Amino acid sequence: MECITGRTKTTEMNLIFATSNEHKLSEVRSMLPEGIAISGLKEIGFTEELPETQNTIEGNSLQKAEYLSNTLNTDCFAEDTGLEVDALNGEPGVYSARYAGEHATFNDNINKLLKELEGKNNRKARFKTVITYYSQGKSVQFTGITNGVITPNKRGDKGFGYDPVFIPEGSDKTYAEMTLEEKNLYSHRKKSFEGFANYLRKNAVL
């Protein structure tokens, strides 16, 4: 989740990205357009836990954006991402980050996913990111989707989350085998951020 905090002399806009995940922070920084600076929650000293109690990715994204906007009294945007696997009826979906339990690690979640897919021929899946921009009590959402397949085994040591087992359409590499530049060619998160940035430009925010 991010929060628009104002303008500086060297950048047009300063955004606070509500995450303590350094991998995600680096990935987002690599894809934002010129004119935007970004900081993580640790950098601004924000330690309050953000609510994620909805049963959809869209719902969680909106909930976080609205909560942060009300807490900081400013326009904000939030991001929520999930992996949806066809053979598992869309699971883990909104529960992707805690698929193997409330305090599960990335490896715990991947191991559970691979176990659930044992014996299944259909490995199709998609990553879905939803960004919610919340301003003056109104919200706009931007969705990015990347289709692909789940590999039988982990491959690569870059990225985070389910990256070692997801191959996007058009590639033979998992996300975890790609550089950030390569991943951004396919990234679901990149697609949603591009939609958001275009919205800001169209509405003269950037």
Is residue 80 among the annotated active site residues? yes
Q: Give per-residue burial for 105-133: e unless 16+ CB within 10 Å, then b.
A: ebeebbbbbeebbeeeeebebbbbbbbbb
Those residues whose C-beta lies under 8 Å from the C-beta of residue 21, and which sit 6 or more positions away, are 160
Q: Which of 80, 157, 163, 172 is catalytic?
A: 80
Name the residue type at position 78.
A
What phi, psi does 163 have (nearest 5°)? -50, -40
Instruction: Round to whole Å and give the CA distance between 51 and 70.
Output: 13
Joined tokens for residue 162: 């389910």
Joined tokens for residue 72: 């900081």
- How many CA atoms lie within 13 Å of 38's alpha carbon, on the beta-carbon side? 22
What phi, psi does 164 have (nearest 5°)? -70, -10
How far from chain centre, in Å, is Cα 86? 20
Q: Which residues pair with 141 in a beta bridge?
A: 132
Q: Which residues pair with 128 in a beta bridge?
A: 82, 145
Catalytic residues: 80
